Amino acid sequence: MLITRQPVFRKFWHAVMPLSMLEGGLPKPFRLLGEDIVLFLDAEGQPAALKDRCCHRTARLSKGRCVNGALECGYHGWTYNAGGRVIRIPQYDAERAIPAEYCTPAYRCVAKYGYAWVALEEPIAPIPEVPEFGAPGWRTIYQFYERWATSPIRALENSFDNSHFSFVHRATFGVAAQPKPSKYELVERKNGDGSIGFQAETLIDATNPPAFHRVSGSTDPITQRHMRNAYYLPFSRRLDIEYPSGVRHIIINCFTPIDDGQLQLVQWLFRNDTEADCPEQMLIDFDHVITREDKDILESTDPDALVDIRRRGVEYSMDSDRPGMLIRKQLLELLSAHGETEQHRGNQPPTA
Ligand code: FES
Ligand SMILES: [Fe+2]
């Protein structure tokens, strides 16, 4: 699937940028679904998103600066409010009216969980609920914000794939002698508010060398992970690990689509222990090694992932690919509900 050619994805919220990146008074560019946008904080400190193109001579607004909660173009100083209207042309006398058509498209943008979320069109589903955020007994740790050369579908199927641990993660938590995957219990979720996805529960064995003891809260050489994971259509997931020690390690991922070959990995973590039990940096370092292992193999895959499995002979599957097949089924149902079919390159390899 070529993500940017499926307009329905414009109708979802996407986690685009940590709010902390916008606090320095400079606008920041982002490419979302192939569309160049610029983010900045308005006078109330709320994030705003505009098309990254000045309506005067098309300069990128992200090269400008923020002035009193408005965005000033770096070329001639035309200044935009959060709604995309030009509210100041410094070359005009102050009393001269500015035509209403002097504007650039504005997108829906809200702050949630410490990020700016953007929907390019009227959203058809809410931002996923994350009850641990700000709740007593939980700490929030922002882990990764980085670009990966792969597609959200590849990252999603990987995140529910129990068959790769013994290979991709054999240097970390994978048990090399146990390539047979544990089975997932899958329960589809279709809420009236448009929130669609599934819950996926399983138990896996994980190696637990001394370097991981504080992460797992256990000194056993092999520990167990009780996983209660969830998929949120289209590109988010929750990885909820409970160790026998009672320690919970809950990762939220948004695989935000940049274009047809790249995603922005947005990853944060909740823990129910304390800094004294396991320091934040240790948790970042632990998950950093594991995500490097996934990134390396995923960047070798074709980002034009097969979604409509009626296209025969493109990719073959095995039993443990069931979560990935359910993701495909839900994506296909979404497309068909919006009058779309999967857009793809066919069986051709990507051109360099
Ligand atoms: S191009 Fe932006 S003010 Fe001229
Ligand atoms: Fe992995």
In short, whether 75's Cβ falls inside 6 Å of ligand 1 is: yes
Tell me what pLDDT residue 352 has. 54
CATH 2.102.10.10 is held by the domain 3-119: yes
Tell me what pLDDT residue 350 has. 65
3-state secondary structure 187-222: EEEECCCCCEEEEEEEEEEEECCHHHHHHHCCCCCE
Tell me what pLDDT residue 176 has. 77
Structure tokens at 108: 């829906």
User: What would the pLDDT profile of 304-344 be if each residue is shown by its tens digit?
Assistant: 999 999 998 899 999 999 999 999 999 999 999 999 999 99
Residues 316, 306: contact at Cβ < 8 Å?
no
Positions in the chain short of pLDDT 50: none
In short, whether 73's Cβ falls inside 6 Å of ligand 1 is: yes
User: What would the pLDDT profile of 154-202 be if each residue is shown by its tens digit?
Assistant: 999 999 998 998 899 988 877 777 778 888 999 999 998 989 999 999 9
Tell me what pLDDT residue 349 has. 64
Ligand nearest to the CA of 57: 1
Tell me what pLDDT residue 172 has. 85
Tell me what pLDDT residue 182 has. 83
Tell me what pLDDT residue 351 has. 65
Ligand nearest to the CA of 59: 1
Tell me what pLDDT residue 148 has. 98
| Core vs surface per residue 22-32: b (16+ CB within 10 A) or e | beeeebbebbb
Q: Ligand 1 pocket: which of 55, 75, 85, 103 to mutate (most atoms <8 Å of CB)? A: 75
Amino acid letter for position 99: P
Which of ligand 1's atoms lies nearest the C-alpha of 89? 3
What is the value of pTM for the model shown? 0.95
For residue 206, which phi and psi values (nearest 5 degrees)?
Answer: -135, 135
* Centre of ligand 1 from the C-alpha of residue 89, in Å: 9
Largest Cα separation within the chain, whole Å, is: 77
CATH of 139-337, one of 3.90.380.10, 3.40.50.150, 3.30.980.20, 3.50.50.60: 3.90.380.10
Domain edges within the chain = 3-119, 139-337
